[in-house]
């Protein structure tokens, strides 16, 4: 019987893994939503309304987790009992940290100079790096099952996501 | 997330009643084939209401087509204007509007702008002819008929629309879908729902205005792809990016400004008039007159190059001005740009470029301004779609959804996936915000986060709920404050306080907190501070002179009976569909007993007995409902890679 204890992958009938069939995920999400969404229960009793709300929230959370590569990787590690973003674990290669600082400086400069083209160049470069980290994550999680290394790559990926979010903020400020 | 299974107490207690309901099972089996509803197929009267800043509308689905219900003179719009007299007489709409110039203090226009807002939130206090009263939570207005909250004023507009609909449809309404700007925060949504309750409406759903427009547009045009809905109303601006695929309306991102609309364009003209005519301090009467002239000039410029503005002030002074299209453009350019900023943000949140947008749907009377259409067209690189009346499209879409939610048609044909417009979080150390639900999360949603104490022996924790995107609490909207007490004394950092945020399908937030580590639980449910409790609504109903106490009680009884009848029908339908497959004889008999008790209670007029039967039936069907939900989820997944499932 399907219950709240099933993991996100099982919920959608997908094999656990970093590489997923995005189309199948979306289709399964929509099929379940069609059954459980509160709009289907607007004239039902309280018990059904409450269940519908709980199911929909559960399904939305699972979908939001699996559709984003970062959250998906973190969740896979969680299933392995690894808290990848444990604040006590900040191990990070030195050259990556140096690169981070350089990007941060470039971002601050572009922002101060309201240099839109500069920001766009920076964004493209960071996206390329983030995409590379995704490829690494897929290999580490799905093929080599090297979860400790995957956790480290995920921490790097988080740095990239934060920087990309800062670029978004910079765009907004310039506009 | 916790699955809350109902306990079986109600079921086991009912075992003594099994004999009588057995006959009922047979009766049910005779009349209902599996999968068929036993509920009588009766058309339930449901409406969609667009509660606008400037104008409001009510629409319904008749013979499968969504239509706006006109008033007795054939007007589709109801001006959102309420006039109060000292004897308590309330007039709404055109009649109230006509009194606006004579009696500006007691004629409330654009009340939507004050919903869920404190006095500090109203930037143009000085140009408004009202006597504001600074009240905790929401501002109030002093009128000849007493102090009124914006919720009460809005309820008058809703009552007028309800009366209009019930007269036209010759019956009582089952329920209504009320639209709100997508960018409305929790306080504004809660205030809107309270107004509907006060007006005696059963709210089927609060629906975001752009999403309502997308339903009307999408279903009409069989649209597929990513669309932008640009909704500039009288006082609010929304931009929603929606992905339309077979039967699914998925909001990818939404943004906006809940204090930007056509009213602001009027005010720019008004200020220009004052400047041009060399007017300084003018009375409230003249303010209202010139604001009216300003609005007329704006409307004139929709299809004329020049608008004449003439007015005779109370001093006898004559205002006679000509406003050109160009001058109007220049003075409102910054307002137009103010709509493009949220538009860019929404696109970025959706991860899209303007070129990815297949069509731009224009909604709201203010999008009639040629300058707006040009600016939006330029931004998206395409001519915006205006084939549906921008004043009516929201109400039409809301009516279509109301028809589905009331149960008049199986809602299997489409699905709405909407989002939270603004992040929700709580205050942490140093006045910083910890976001718990990020903006653009699909609703309904529930998220929990754990916090801890920072002092040894700390037994209480203050929880401050805020909404907004900024990192500092002081720059976000404060929604509610509450305290979790009874935490067992521990060293700092040892307590585990789980704070759970839950946003329902109306976009409304509920927050609870619980101490987890010691097994001692303290638990509290809060409503945002602007929300009215049931008691407050009851009091407001009593306060209004037309509702004597007995009326209130009669209405509560009538509402309970409707709820009870609805639950009987829903339970019968559920039993007919899945009773045989999912219940054993004993469970079935227990539910039948509760159902019978509910039917019997509904025969009488004892509100308490009906309430008891309702609660018992709700409780007693909890397990059954859970099994039905599981079964339907399983059905949904059948065909989706079932062979890969290793259950």
H-assigned helices in B315-415 = 325-350, 370-380, 393-405
Cis peptide before A49 (omega within 30 of 0): no
Specify the pLDDT at position B541: 64
Specify the pLDDT at position B279: 85
Whether A149 maps to a domain, the answer reads yes
Instruction: Report the distance separating Cα A26 and Cα B224, nearest Å.
Output: 16
Specify the pLDDT at position A133: 94
- Judging contacts by C-beta atoms under 8 Å, the chain A residues touching residue B622 are 47, 51
Whether B441 maps to a domain, the answer reads yes
Question: Do residue B511 and residue B431 come from a single domain?
Answer: yes
Contacts of B407 (CB under 8 A, 6+ apart): A42, A43, B44
Specify the pLDDT at position B630: 86
Please provide the DSSP assignment of B26-50 as one string: HHHHHH--TT---S---PPPEEEEE
Whether B263 maps to a domain, the answer reads no
Record: contact A35-B618, CB cut-off 8 A: no
Q: What is the CATH number of the domain that holds A23?
A: 1.10.287.110
Question: Do residue B524 and residue B574 come from a single domain?
Answer: no
Specify the pLDDT at position B530: 61
Question: Do residue B495 and residue B560 come from a single domain?
Answer: no
Q: Are B32 and B576 in contact (CB under 8 A)?
A: yes
Out of B478, B502, B531, a domain closes at: B531
CA dihedral B578, A41, B465, B521 (to 10 degrees): -20
- Judging contacts by C-beta atoms under 8 Å, the chain A residues touching residue B566 are 43, 45
Instruction: Report the distance separating Cα B165 and Cα B177, nearest Å.
Output: 13
In the stretch 80-139 of chain B, residues with CB closer than 8 A to chain A read none
Out of B531, B559, B580, a domain closes at: B531
- Judging contacts by C-beta atoms under 8 Å, the chain B residues touching residue A58 are 1, 446
Question: Do residue A32 and residue A99 come from a single domain?
Answer: no
CB-closest option in B412, B618, B637 to A46: B618
Instruction: Report the distance separating Cα B235 and Cα B258, nearest Å.
Output: 7
End-to-end CA separation in angstroms for chain A: 52
Specify the pLDDT at position A78: 92
Q: Which of A22, A43, A172 is the best residue to mutate to test the B interface, defined by the most B CB atoms within 10 Å of its own CB? A: A43
- Judging contacts by C-beta atoms under 8 Å, the chain B residues touching residue A57 are 1, 444-446, 502
Specify the pLDDT at position B28: 32
DSSP 8-class letter at B524: E
- Judging contacts by C-beta atoms under 8 Å, the chain B residues touching residue A48 are 570, 574, 621, 625, 628-629
Whether A87 maps to a domain, the answer reads no
Quick check: helix, strand or coil at residue A117?
Answer: helix
CB-closest option in B4, B406, B635 to A54: B4
Tell me the backbone φ, ψ of residue B498, rounded to 5 degrees. Answer: -95, 120
Record: contact B505-A53, CB cut-off 8 A: yes
Tell me which of A96 and B307 has the higher pLDDT: B307
Whether A74 maps to a domain, the answer reads no
Cα dist from A71 to A9, A14, A75, whole Å: 13, 16, 6
Record: contact B417-A168, CB cut-off 8 A: no
B185 classed as catalytic: no
CB-closest option in B404, B412, B626 to A34: B412
Out of A67, A85, A104, a domain closes at: A67
In the stretch 225-254 of chain B, residues with CB closer than 8 A to chain A read 248
Q: Which of B637, B644, B647 is the best residue to mutate to test the A interface, defined by the most A CB atoms within 10 Å of its own CB? A: B637
Specify the pLDDT at position A17: 93
Whether A108 maps to a domain, the answer reads yes
Sheet bearing B81-84, strands edge to edge: B90-92, B81-84, B107-109
Whether B511 maps to a domain, the answer reads yes
Quick check: helix, strand or coil at residue B363?
Answer: strand
Q: How far is CA B460 from the centre of its chain?
A: 34
B112 classed as catalytic: yes
Question: Do residue A29 and residue A99 come from a single domain?
Answer: no
In the stretch 335-394 of chain B, residues with CB closer than 8 A to chain A read 341, 344-345, 348
Instruction: Report the distance separating Cα B506 and Cα B178, nearest Å.
Output: 10
Question: Do residue A102 and residue A160 come from a single domain?
Answer: yes
Specify the pLDDT at position B128: 82
- Judging contacts by C-beta atoms under 8 Å, the chain B residues touching residue A61 are 1, 445-447
Q: Which of B3, B352, B411, B444 is the best residue to mutate to test the A interface, defined by the most A CB atoms within 10 Å of its own CB? A: B444
- Spell out, as residue ranges, where chain B has pLDDT lower than 50: 1-40, 545, 640-647
Question: Do residue A99 and residue A165 come from a single domain?
Answer: yes
Question: Do residue B601 and residue B526 come from a single domain?
Answer: no
Show the domain range for B465. Answer: 424-531
pLDDT (tens digit, 9 = 90+) per residue, B444-466? Answer: 999 998 888 888 888 888 889 99
Question: Do residue B527 and residue B562 come from a single domain?
Answer: no
Taking phi first (over 0 means left), then psi (-120 to 50 degrees means alpha), and beta for anything else, what does residue B351 get? left
Question: Do residue A59 and residue A116 come from a single domain?
Answer: no
Distance from the Cα of B543 to chain A's closest Cα (Å) equals 30
Show the domain range for A42. Answer: 8-67
Sequence-separated contacts (24+) of B608-611 with Cβ below 8 Å = B610/B557, B610/B560, B610/B561, B610/B564, B611/B560
Q: Which of B243, B252, B230 is nearest to B380 (CA)?
A: B230
Q: Within an 8 Å CB–CB cutoff, is residue B630 touching chain A? A: yes
CB-closest option in A33, A47, A171 to B621: A47
Q: How far is CA B493 from the centre of its chain?
A: 40
DSSP 8-class letter at B122: -
Record: contact B622-A28, CB cut-off 8 A: no
Question: Do residue A119 and residue A158 come from a single domain?
Answer: yes
Question: Do residue B605 and residue B555 come from a single domain?
Answer: yes
- Judging contacts by C-beta atoms under 8 Å, the chain A residues touching residue B630 are 1-3
Distance from the Cα of B574 to chain A's closest Cα (Å) equals 9
In chain B, how many domains are there?
A: 2
Q: Which of A8, A11, A48 is the best residue to mutate to test the B interface, defined by the most B CB atoms within 10 Å of its own CB? A: A48
Specify the pLDDT at position B542: 64
Record: contact B618-A4, CB cut-off 8 A: no
Contacts of A150 (CB under 8 A, 6+ apart): A73, A76, A77, A84, A137, A140, A141
* Catalytic site residue from B50, B194, B506, B592: B50
Record: contact A24-B625, CB cut-off 8 A: no
Whether A89 maps to a domain, the answer reads no
Whether A81 maps to a domain, the answer reads no
In chain A, how many domains are there?
A: 2
Whether A86 maps to a domain, the answer reads no
* Catalytic site residue from B186, B231, B286, B418: B231
Whether A133 maps to a domain, the answer reads yes
Specify the pLDDT at position B397: 96
Question: Do residue A114 and residue A170 come from a single domain?
Answer: yes
Q: Which of B55, B337, B392 is nearest to B220 (CA)?
A: B392
Question: Do residue B522 and residue B605 come from a single domain?
Answer: no
Instruction: Report the distance separating Cα B437 and Cα B186, nearest Å.
Output: 13
B172 classed as catalytic: no
Out of A67, A86, A114, a domain closes at: A67
Record: contact A38-B444, CB cut-off 8 A: yes
B142 classed as catalytic: no
Q: Are B52 and B81 in contact (CB under 8 A)?
A: no
Whether B484 maps to a domain, the answer reads yes
- Across-strand partners of B462? B483
Question: Do residue A98 and residue A58 come from a single domain?
Answer: no
Question: Do residue A104 and residue A161 come from a single domain?
Answer: yes
Instruction: Give just the sign of the alpha carbon dihedral B462, B533, B48, B155.
Output: negative
Question: Do residue A51 and residue A108 come from a single domain?
Answer: no
Distance from the Cα of B82 to chain A's closest Cα (Å) equals 31
Q: What is the CATH number of the domain that holds A150?
A: 1.20.1280.20
| Residue contacts between A and B (CB atoms, under 8 Å) | 148
Q: Which of B543, B592, B494, B435 is nearest to B198 (CA)?
A: B543
Specify the pLDDT at position B531: 58
């Amino acid at each position: 019987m399907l219950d709240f204890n099933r993991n996100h992958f099982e919920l959608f009938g997908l094999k656990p893994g970093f590489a997923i069939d995005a189309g199948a995920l979306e289709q399964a999400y929509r099929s379940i939503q069609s059954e459980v969404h509160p709009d289907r229960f607007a004239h039902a009793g309280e018990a059904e309304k409450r269940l519908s709300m709980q199911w929909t929230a559960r399904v939305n959370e699972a979908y939001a987790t699996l559709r984003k590569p970062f959250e998906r990787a973190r969740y896979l590690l969680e299933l392995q009992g690894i808290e990848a973003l444990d604040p006590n674990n900040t191990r990070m290669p030195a050259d990556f940290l140096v690169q981070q600082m350089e990007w941060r400086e470039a971002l601050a400069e572009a922002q101060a100079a309201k240099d839109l083209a500069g920001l766009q160049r920076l964004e493209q470069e960071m996206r390329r790096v983030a995409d590379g980290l995704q490829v690494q994550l897929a290999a580490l999680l799905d093929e080599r099952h090297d979860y400790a290394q995957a956790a480290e790559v995920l921490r790097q990926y988080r740095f990239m996501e934060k920087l990309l979010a800062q670029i978004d903020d910079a765009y907004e400020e310039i506009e | 997330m916790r699955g809350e299974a109902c306990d079986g107490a109600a079921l086991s207690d009912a075992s003594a009643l099994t004999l009588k309901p057995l006959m009922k099972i047979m009766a049910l089996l005779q009349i209902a084939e599996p999968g068929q509803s036993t509920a009588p197929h009766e058309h339930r009267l449901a409406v969609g209401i667009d509660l606008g800043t400037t104008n409001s509308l009510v629409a319904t689905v008749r013979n499968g087509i969504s239509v706006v219900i006109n008033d007795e003179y054939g007007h589709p719009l109801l001006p959102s204007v309420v006039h109060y007299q000292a004897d308590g007489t309330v007039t709404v709409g055109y009649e109230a509007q006509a009194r606006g110039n004579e009696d500006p203090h007691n004629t409330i226009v654009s009340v939507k702008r004050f919903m869920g807002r404190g006095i500090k939130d109203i930037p143009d206090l000085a140009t408004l002819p009202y006597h504001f009263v600074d009240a905790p939570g929401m501002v109030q207005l002093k009128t000849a008929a007493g102090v009124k909250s914006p919720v009460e004023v809005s309820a008058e507009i809703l009552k007028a629309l309800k009366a209009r609909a019930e007269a036209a449809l010759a019956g009582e309404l089952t329920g209504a879908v009320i639209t709100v700007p997508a960018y409305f925060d929790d306080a504004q949504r809660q205030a809107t729902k309270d107004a509907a309750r006060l007006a005696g409406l059963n709210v089927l759903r609060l629906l975001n205005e752009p999403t309502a427009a997308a339903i009307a547009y999408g279903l009409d045009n069989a649209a597929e792809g990513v669309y932008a809905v640009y909704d500039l109303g009288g006082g609010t601006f929304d931009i929603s990016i929606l992905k339309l695929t077979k039967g699914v309306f998925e909001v990818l991102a939404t943004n906006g400004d809940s204090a930007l609309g056509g009213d602001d364009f009027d005010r720019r003209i008004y200020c220009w008039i004052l400047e041009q005519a060399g007017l300084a301090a003018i009375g409230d009467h003249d303010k209202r007159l010139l604001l009216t002239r300003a609005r007329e000039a704006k409307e004139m410029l929709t299809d004329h190059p020049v608008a004449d503005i003439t007015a005779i002030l109370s001093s006898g002074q004559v205002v006679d001005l000509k406003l050109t299209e160009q001058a109007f453009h220049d003075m409102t350019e910054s307002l137009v740009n103010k709509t493009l900023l949220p538009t860019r943000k929404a696109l970025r949140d959706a991860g899209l470029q303007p070129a990815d947008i297949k069509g731009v749907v224009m909604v709201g009377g203010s999008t009639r301004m040629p300058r707006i259409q040009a600016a939006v067209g330029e931004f998206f690189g395409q001519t915006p779609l205006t084939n549906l009346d921008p004043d009516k499209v929201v109400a039409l879409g809301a009516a279509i959804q109301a028809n589905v939610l009331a149960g008049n048609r199986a809602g299997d044909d489409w699905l709405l996936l909407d989002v939270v417009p603004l992040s929700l979080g709580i205050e942490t150390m140093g006045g910083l915000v910890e976001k718990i639900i990020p903006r653009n999360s699909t609703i309904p949603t529930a998220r929990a986060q754990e916090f801890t104490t920072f002092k040894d022996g700390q037994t209480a924790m203050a929880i401050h709920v805020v909404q907004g995107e900024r990192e500092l609490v002081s720059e976000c909207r404060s929604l509610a404050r509450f305290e979790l007490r009874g935490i067992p004394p521990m060293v700092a950092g040892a307590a585990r306080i789980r704070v759970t945020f839950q946003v329902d399908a109306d976009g409304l937030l509920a927050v609870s907190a619980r101490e987890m580590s010691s097994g001692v639980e303290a638990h509290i449910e809060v409503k945002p501070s602007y929300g009215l409790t049931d008691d407050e609504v009851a009091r407001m109903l009593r306060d209004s002179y037309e509702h004597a106490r007995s009326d209130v009680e009669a209405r509560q009884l009538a509402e309970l009976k409707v709820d009870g009848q609805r639950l009987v029908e829903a339970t019968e339908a559920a039993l007919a569909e899945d009773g045989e497959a999912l219940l054993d004889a004993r469970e079935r008999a227990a539910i039948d007993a509760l159902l019978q008790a509910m039917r019997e209670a509904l025969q009488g007029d004892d509100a308490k007995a009906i309430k008891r039967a309702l609660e018992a039936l709700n409780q007693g069907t909890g397990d059954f409902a859970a099994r039905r939900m599981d079964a339907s989820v399983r059905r949904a997944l059948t065909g989706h890679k079932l062979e890969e499932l290793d259950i």
